[in-house]
Each structure stands twice: as structure tokens, then as C-alpha cells.
Amino acid sequence: MPDPRPAWHALFAPLPADAPVMRKPVLPPELRGNPSSAPIAGWEHLSVQLSAPGTGLRHVMFTLDADGRVISGGDWVLYTEGKRGIHENVGGRFEPDGRFLGTRWRTVSEQEDDEDEARILESVSSPPSEADIAAIKALAEEVLRRAGEV
């Protein structure tokens, strides 16, 4: 059976041309100006959230420091296959020397009709592959470009 998800609904898939990038400060308004918040003043999240009926969700997010450098980010997809829920993601931090340190996760859960909560059937983590690292860096560049940061 072919995958019913749109092409953008997979880790590292190209984003639709019309997908908006949302900007949000890391600090909520009530903490801005608080001296203890000074180390993260000016930091912001750039994110793209996508969904389509019956397919699930995809969330791409990167955090920028006050100098506009990407310091962390990831790509998350959630979808269903029958009664199973699938959550895949790669996330981590970008080091000043260009390395990406993160984790790749795949979690499968299942929920019966008469259950309130889903049972986790498997949850597997692994280091991201070299291809994953190249893809997350390319995705970060794309989101920055769209946000007008590069």
C-alpha cells in the first residue's frame, strides 16, 4: 500500500514553497528585562509546522542565539499506521566548530479503542547518521534563508 502522507511529511523532506516560518522569542514577555534571563535575551525560535487531515504532523524548529547562530534544532514527524502511532525525530545542538550532536528517535505506540492512553511498543534511539547530520544542516539553512537570516 502506498504511503498516504504528503511528500513533505517525512524527516528531512523538502518543505513546501508556501510553508511559513514562524519567529518567536525564547523568553516570554514577563521575563524580558529580568537580569537572570540576560544570557538568553535575544534568542529566538524559527519553526515550520505542517499538518494535513489524516496524515499527522511535522514540526521543524531551530533555536538561534542573540547573534543569529543556530544553536539547536530538529525535525519531528508524527503519523499513524492503522492503530499505531509513529513518532520519528532527529534533534540536537549545533556546536561552534560545525559539529551536530544529537539523537535520532523512533517510537511506536498503539491505542486500543477502549483505552485512554497509548502503550509504547518500541522506542529506539541512535546517533544520527552522517546523512542525517547533512540533512539537518541543510534544513537549518533552508529555514534561515526563508526567515531572511542568511
**Residue 37 CB partners (closer than 8 Å, separation 6+):** 27, 31
**Amino acid at position 82, single letter:** G
Q: What is the mean pLDDT of the chain?
A: 88
Burial of residue 17, with CB atoms counted within 10 A of its CB: 0-12 exposed, 13-18 middle, 19 or more buried: exposed
**Residue 117 CB partners (closer than 8 Å, separation 6+):** 111
Question: Which pLDDT score, from 0 to 100, does residue 4 have?
Answer: 64
Reported as a single tens digit per residue, the pLDDT across 5-45 is 778 888 999 999 999 999 998 777 676 677 776 777 788 99
Residue 147 pLDDT > 80: yes
**Cα distance between residue 42 and residue 26, in whole Å:** 8
In contact, 91 and 137? CB cutoff 8 Å: no
Hey, where are the domains in the chain?
22-147
Share of the chain above pLDDT 90, in %: 60
Question: Which pLDDT score, from 0 to 100, does residue 139 have?
Answer: 96
**Cα distance between residue 37 and residue 42, in whole Å:** 10
**Ranges 20-29, 66-75, 129-138: which has the least confidence:** 20-29
In contact, 61 and 91? CB cutoff 8 Å: no
Reported as a single tens digit per residue, the pLDDT across 97-118 is 999 999 999 999 987 777 777 7
